[in-house]
């Protein structure tokens, strides 16, 4: 079993839809949770960072962490075609070693 599980998609939604992306994990030592966005043929870039449990909002993006369920989510409101990318969840413990999910490919149709 992988430490971090993520549905690979692809997920196709119409422009303006609310998108929900999720990851589950098995290592209870993870305290740091991130979402990276990767456009085609580019390197990943940090989108959201959350420490421990709770919610964090940044514009159209909301990250949620439920440590009791070992489950994290990223919500995108009013999705735009420019949001089309692969979204990678990532997690870490005190060792500063990022463990990535395999990524969910998102396509927002105009």
Residues 36-75 that bind other proteins (CB under 8 A): 41-46, 49, 51
Q: Is 101 in the site for other proteins (CB under 8 A)?
A: yes
Rounded CA-CA distance 64/66 in Å is 7
Q: CB nearer to other proteins: give 42 or 109.
A: 42
Shortest distance in whole angstroms from residue 18 CB to other proteins: 25
| CB atoms inside a 10 Å sphere around CB 57 | 12
Structure token digits, residue 20: 């929900």
Question: Tokens standing for 78?
Answer: 């009013």
Shorter beta-carbon distance to other proteins: residue 17 or 100: 100
């Amino acid at each position: 079993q992988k430490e971090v599980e993520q549905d690979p998609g692809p997920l196709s939604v119409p422009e303006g839809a609310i998108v929900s992306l999720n990851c589950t994990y098995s290592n209870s030592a993870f305290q740091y949770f991130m979402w990276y966005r990767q456009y085609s043929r580019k390197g990943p870039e940090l989108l959201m960072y959350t420490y421990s449990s709770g919610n964090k909002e940044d514009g159209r993006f909301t990250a949620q962490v439920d440590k009791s369920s070992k489950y994290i989510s990223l919500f995108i409101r009013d999705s735009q075609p420019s949001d089309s990318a692969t979204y990678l969840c990532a997690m870490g413990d005190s060792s500063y070693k990022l463990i990535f999910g395999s990524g969910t490919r998102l396509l927002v149709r105009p």
